[in-house]
Chain A
Amino acid sequence: MAKELVAFRNLETHFKTSAGTVKAVNDVSFSIREGETLCVVGESGCGKSVTAMSLMQLIESPPGKIVGGEIFFEGKDLLKLSKKDMSRLRGKEIAMIFQEPMSSLNPVFTIGKQITEPLLYHLNMTQKEAKARAIELITMVGIPRPEKIFHSYPHELSGGMRQRIMIAIALSCDPKLLIADEPTTALDVTIQAQILDLMRDIKTKRNTAIMMITHDLGVVAEMADFVVVMYAGKVIEEASVLELFREPRHPYTQGLLKAKPVINQRKERLYSIPGQVPNPVDLGENCHFHDRCEFCMEICKTKAPPLRAHIDGHKTACWLYEEEGKAQ
Chain B
Amino acid sequence: MSQYIIRRLLQMIPTLIGISIIVFAISQLVPGDYITATQNPNLTAERIAQLRALYGLDLPPVQQYFVWAKNMLVGDLGQSLQHQMPVTKVINTYVWNSFIIAFFSFVFSWIIAAFVGVFSAQFQYSFFDKVVTLLVFLLMSLPSFFIGLLAIKYFALDMKLLPTGGMTTAGLNATGWAYIKDVGLHMFMPVVVMTTLSVGGLTRYFRTGMLEVIRQDYIRTARAKGLKERTVIFKHAFRNALLPAITLLGFELPGLFGGAMILERVFNWPGIGQIYLASLNLRDYPLMLGFTMFLAVLTLLGNLISDVLYGVADPRIRLK
Contacts and interface: CB of A to CB of B under 8 A. Distances in A.
B313 A122 contact: no
B260 to A, nearest CB: 35
Contacts of A105: 218, 221
Nearest to B218: A106
Given A108-B313, A155-B316, A89 B216 contact: no
B226 A103 contact: no
Interface stretch (A2-10, A94-102, A239-247, A297-305): A94-102
Interface pairs A-B: 7 shortest CB-CB: A91-B226, A90-B226, A91-B225, A103-B217, A153-B315, A106-B218, A96-B224
A278 B77 CA distance: 75
Interface in B23-38: none
Contact of A106 (B224, B228, B229, B236): B236
Contacts of B316: 107, 153, 155
Nearest to A108: B239
A88 interface: yes
A166 B315 CA distance: 19
Nearest to B223: A58
A103 B313 CA distance: 18
B226 A122 contact: yes
Given A104-B217, A121-B226, 5 more contacts: A58-B220, A87-B227, A90-B223, A104-B220, A106-B240
Nearest to B240: A108
Summarize B's interface: helix, strand, loop or mixed: helix
A327 B223 CA distance: 51
Contacts of A108: 239-240, 243, 313-315
A118 interface: yes
A87 B218 contact: no
Contacts of B227: 87, 91, 117-118, 121
Interface string B156-196: 00000000000000000000000000000000000000000
A56 interface: yes
A91 B224 contact: yes
Contact of A56 (B224, B239, B240): B224
15 contacts: A56-B224, A58-B224, A87-B228, A87-B229, A90-B224, A91-B225, A92-B226, A98-B217, A98-B224, A107-B218, A107-B315, A108-B240, A109-B239, A118-B225, A169-B221
B316 to A, nearest CB: 5
B222 interface: yes
Given A100-B217, A103-B218, A108-B315, A169 B225 contact: yes
Contacts of B313: 108
Interface string B191-220: 000000000000000000000000011101
Contacts of A87: 226-229
Nearest to A106: B218
Interface in A120-167: 121-122, 153, 155, 166
A118 B315 contact: no
Contacts of A107: 218, 240, 314-316
Interface in B232-256: 236, 239-240, 243
A118 B226 contact: yes
A16 to B, nearest CB: 13
Contacts of A104: 217-218, 220-221
A127 to B, nearest CB: 16
A141 to B, nearest CB: 16
Interface in A80-94: 87-92
Contacts of B218: 103-107
Among A107, A108, A155, chain B packs the most CB atoms within 10 A around the CB of A108
A108 B227 CA distance: 17
B217 A89 contact: no
B294 to A, nearest CB: 35
A90 B225 contact: yes
Contacts of B220: 58, 98, 104
Contacts of B226: 87-92, 118, 121-122
Interface string B281-320: 0000000000000000000000000000000011110000
Contacts of A58: 220, 223-224
Contacts of B222: 106
A306 B218 CA distance: 39
Given A104-B217, A106-B218, A108-B313, A95 B228 contact: no
A276 B223 CA distance: 34
Contacts of A100: 217
A98 B216 CA distance: 12
A98 B240 contact: no
A61 to B, nearest CB: 12
A326 B207 CA distance: 60
Contacts of B315: 107-108, 110, 153, 155
Contacts of B221: 98, 104-106, 166, 169
Contacts of A106: 218, 221-222, 236, 239-240
Nearest to B317: A155
A118 B226 CA distance: 7
A153 B314 CA distance: 10
Interface in A162-193: 166, 169
Contacts of A155: 315-316
Contact of B216 (A103, A153, A166): A103
